[in-house]
Chains A and B, each alone.
Chain A
Amino acid sequence: MNKLPVTLTVNGREYNLKVDGNERLLDTLRQRLGLTGTKEGCGVGECGACSVILDGNLVNSCMVLTGQCTGARVETVEGLGTAAKLHPLQQAFIDYNAVQCGFCTPGMLMAAKALLDKNPHPSEAEIRQGLSGVLCRCTGYKQIVDAVNAAAGEEG
């Protein structure tokens, strides 16, 4: 198996890596860069727990090879805010009790960010559509939709 040089930017920081051809972006983030906020759920693109923003678009990081990411900009949940200064979406998730077990939360936050980046004032239907690629098995969707709606109002 060949090793490939990859230069990519994650949360604004540039990394120069040498990766195996079959290494997934998800594994690079979690194991190589220690960014374990991004979760692996199903590993086959159905649950959205591993969602990150790649060059402005929401993708499942389990379905991207790191070798495909040269020159790419990646945003993960770690880049959203800090403990001292939370991102409005993170604060809204706390305010609206939009976190139950928390496993889907990073994916939900990134899906919400990708949505608001493109559509700062979504309707509830658009919020549901934007979050439709992330499954919450605690089924706390109502609180999550409300949180995104509140964060959108705040940012506007």
Chain B
Amino acid sequence: MLEFNLFRPQSLQETLDLLAEFKGTARVLAGGTDLLISLRAKEGMEDVRNVIDITGLQELAFIQERDLLEIGPLTTIAQVAEDSVLRQNAGVLAEAAAAVGSPQIRNRGTIGGNVVNAAVCADTVPPLVALGATVKLERKGGSRWLPLDQFITGPNRTQLAEDELLTKIAFAKLPANASWGFMRLARREALAIARMNVAVIIVRDGQGKVEHARIVPGSVLSRPTGVPEAEKLLVGTHPDEALAHQAGEAVAAAMTSSGRRWSTPYKEPAIIALTERAIKQALEVEWR
């Protein structure tokens, strides 16, 4: 284990002061399910001398319904999975949270950690991007909001500055005529990192025609964004199985636009099928 000084601030202000003081020599510790592995392996931690444990900041653990739904970064993955307000108004996020890791990981890991760690396979990120989430970043003497899909700039990379802390995640409730799907492929059901996942949100008019569609894959693109080519296919239609398959092919095409690797022939049919199934789940239909 890396040697470091552990700090346990009791307020947000104290935390921001510490971050400002330590600059790049500090890491923020919440659930620890990612950070402790890195600290133990000493990977990418060359400059780290200080660890700031924020689990004492209970002001950052909340799920509240205002104009928007707001989630505090210290909310555990288990709390996100079980919360009745989220289940009702952002079910795609709760469903994805329930698929993370294991009971032990969900009890400890936080949604803020999942977002800031910005692993490509983070299960809560595609649903949050599909929901149009924005994140609030605070630093000593200032704050800013960023759309989540801009906040995450690449694998394990974000726009978070050395002295900033994620303090809120916010998004609009899904309208009553919205439905969603979430699919995940991993080597086992539990304790396995998602090889790929995809979140789908579909909004239909009274006649069942698609007004709006979001299709956001994870572990497929270099950063989590929707695939407009796939989304456009569905808008204005009553999607059938063939169209859902085409949308899957559009996601696969987006995946290979950055190049082909040895694993691509395996991943293409997988992401097509996952997308197709997530659309099917969102449409609440049975094709076969």
Interface residues of A (CB under 8 A from B): 1-2, 4, 20-22, 24, 43-46, 48, 51, 57-60, 62-65, 67-68, 70, 111, 114, 129-130, 132-133, 135
Q: Which residues of chain B are within 8 angstroms of A133 by Cβ–Cβ distance?
A: 101-105, 190-191
Give, as a whole number of angstroms, the nearest-CB distance from A103 to chain B.
16
Which residues in chain B, 1-19, are within 8 Å of chain A measured between CB atoms? 1-6, 8
Whole-angstrom CA separation of A130 from B190 in the bound complex:
10
Q: How many A-B residue pairs have CB under 8 A?
A: 94
Whole-angstrom CA separation of A3 from B105 in the bound complex:
27
Whole-angstrom CA separation of A111 from B3 in the bound complex:
31
Cβ of B107 within 8 Å of any chain A Cβ, yes or no, is yes
Closest residue on chain A to residue B35 by CB atoms: A63
Whole-angstrom CA separation of A70 from B53 in the bound complex:
12
User: Quick one: which of B8, B33, B36 contacts A4, CB cutoff 8 A?
Assistant: B8
Q: Are A51 and B2 in contact (CB under 8 A)?
A: no
Q: Are B5 and A2 in contact (CB under 8 A)?
A: yes
Cβ of B68 within 8 Å of any chain A Cβ, yes or no, is no
Whole-angstrom CA separation of A63 from B107 in the bound complex:
11
Q: Are B6 and A4 in contact (CB under 8 A)?
A: yes
Q: Are B107 and A64 in contact (CB under 8 A)?
A: no
Cβ of B154 within 8 Å of any chain A Cβ, yes or no, is no
Cβ of B189 within 8 Å of any chain A Cβ, yes or no, is yes
Cβ of B165 within 8 Å of any chain A Cβ, yes or no, is no
Give, as a whole number of angstroms, the nearest-CB distance from B95 to chain A.
14
Q: Are A59 and B4 in contact (CB under 8 A)?
A: no
Whole-angstrom CA separation of A20 from B2 in the bound complex:
11
User: Quick one: which of B4, B8, B32, B55 contacts A63, CB cutoff 8 A?
Assistant: B32
Closest residue on chain A to residue B5 by CB atoms: A2
Cβ of B40 within 8 Å of any chain A Cβ, yes or no, is yes
Give, as a whole number of angstroms, the nearest-CB distance from B67 to chain A.
32
Q: Are B105 and A45 in contact (CB under 8 A)?
A: yes
Q: Are B101 and A67 in contact (CB under 8 A)?
A: no
Given contacts A22-B1, A59-B108, A63-B108, is CB(A114)–CB(B36) below 8 Å?
no
